[in-house]
Amino acid sequence: MWRQYKKHTENCARISMNPKERLNELEQHYRACACRSATPFFSHRKYPKGAGHATDETGNFYRTYYQHDRDKVLYSRSFRRLRLKTQIFPEHTADHLRTRLDHTLEVAQIARHFARQLGLNEDLVDAIALAHDIGHPPFAHSGEKALHRYLLKEGHDGFKHNWQGIRVVDKLEKVYPEINGLNLTRAVRLGILKHTTLSYKKMEGQSCFCGMDNEIKKELNPSNHANDIFEIQVIRLADEFAQVIHDFEDALVSGSLSLEDCVKHPEDYPLISECIKKIKERGVDVDRIDYADRDSSSFLLAQIRSELIYQLTLDVTNASLLALDNWEKRHLKCHNKMERVKIFNRFVKERKKFPSLIVLDKKKMVFHAFTKQLLRKVIRSEQVSRMDGKADYIVRHILDVYCKRPRQVCQSVLDQYKSDRKLAKKANIRQWPDSKLEKLKSDQIFLRAAVDYIAGMTDRFALREYDQLYSAYPRAEP
């Protein structure tokens, strides 16, 4: 009875807290250098009044800002479309190949594990992980590069999926009546933007801001030192790990690689060889595996995948945990945890540099060697290269029709163009004279609206759209 009374008293006290105190209590388990929702710089939203539902009717927090962001991403239409977008191999070619959504969920799983082990902000890491590829177009990186080249050829700003991701969450998603976008916190938007490089390495000097450069410089300032927070470092590494591990598995499923060759030629695959050695130590007789038997090979592949994730995450955790502890001791010199949070907030406000502490240590050499092998044997293989060529062709030709014959574009493209140009809603662009429509091709706002529409397509939708535009006898629309 006393325990129940004590629990009731504690709950009443918690409810009576002001929102900031309650938020601090919700985040007590994070280490002081975690990017907390209470950190003003990172919790800032573009539209403060559009936050909603992070507090209850009495004003008390029942979700952190980053939990709220994660949920908004999860229920967005752009997130759902990832399930029908290519990762490497088209999703319709086999049932067990990864899609962009599978990749996203695996990144989130690895990233949450890192955050839990290192005491970082799990909610923030989860929100960034789920949103990091939300701007990806159909057909993976081949579709991305096709859009980039087309825009540059027309003399416009280019395309890259992380910049487009900011465009999606800031402009294209519609969940509020009075504002555009999902209205995410600065930390999540920075995570989307900086989970990968900001430009193409082989195309230096060719911009790919997706028309968001001025707004991002004003709102996010990606060149700021403080943006490289530890949670974003976690996402970068989780993204790289998930990509390499599932690319390896997909290569085996598709037949681009042979599991038997990987096991029987350890000198060619040192990272896999180390995993096989650990699997044998657990009592699995790898030498007696029948590779012609699907169940046996699937079992071994599952063991290798599990061991790969374990070995890589353990290496990062062991190296980063000590590094984070030492960083906190140097910069957050105080025994009281909440006081250390205040010091961290001042550290952010002063825009001091966050060092790269979330890194691979002992496995770095073998991991990067394995990455290069996958690039050579899978990503540049005949099978993938042919599919990439088809994707490039389809994307370019859809854009050609949209630009040269604007009357054929979907109504949503014209609606976005009218909104961006501040034209009257009743304006009927399809009725414009040819001379006026011809000018749309060089209109950056129209071209960007068309690119936004194509970037949002799933693989299936893009294939169907190409069929409707170019086939003499197109399949009936669903």
Q: Decide: residue 411, CB within 10 A, 0-12 exposed, 13-18 middle, 19+ buried.
A: exposed
1, pLDDT greater than 80: no
CB atoms within 10 A of CB 110: 24
| Per-residue confidence band for 202, with pLDDT thresholds at 50, 70 and 90 | low
Beta carbons within 8 Å of 368's beta carbon, 6+ residues apart: none
First to last CA, the chain: 63
Helix, coil or strand: residue 247:
helix
Amino acid 392: pLDDT? 92
Q: Which tens digits make up the pLDDT trace of 229-251?
A: 999 999 999 999 999 999 998 88
Residue 100: alpha-carbon gap to chain centroid: 9
Q: In angstroms, rounded to a whole number, what is the distance separating the alpha carbons of residues 54 and 51? A: 7
Nearest to 42 by CA among 349, 284, 258: 349
Residue at 59: amino acid letter: G
Q: Mean pLDDT across the chain, nearest whole number?
A: 87
Pull the structure tokens for residue 474. 């197109």
pLDDT, tens digit (0-9, with 9 covering 90-100), for 344-358: 988 888 888 899 999
pTM for this prediction: 0.92
**Per-residue tokens: 179:** 């504002």
What are the pLDDT digits (tens) for 115-143? 999 999 999 999 999 999 999 999 999 99
CATH class of the structural domain 1-387: mainly alpha
**C-alpha closest to that of 448 among 475, 391, 476, 409:** 409
| pLDDT for residue 5 is more than 50 | no
Question: What is the DSSP secondary structure assignment for residue 224, as one 8-state letter?
Answer: -
Closest alpha carbon to 146 in 413, 384, 449, 393? 393
Every domain of the chain and the residues it spans: 1-387, 388-470
Does pLDDT of 466 surpass 60? Answer: yes
User: Using CA atoms, how far apart are residues 478 and 469, in angstroms rounded to an integer?
Assistant: 15
98-113 pLDDT, tens digit each: 899 999 999 999 999 9
Q: Which tens digit of pLDDT belongs to each residue from 28-57?
A: 888 989 988 878 889 888 887 655 666 666
pLDDT digits (tens, 9 = 90+) for 305-327: 999 999 999 999 999 999 999 99
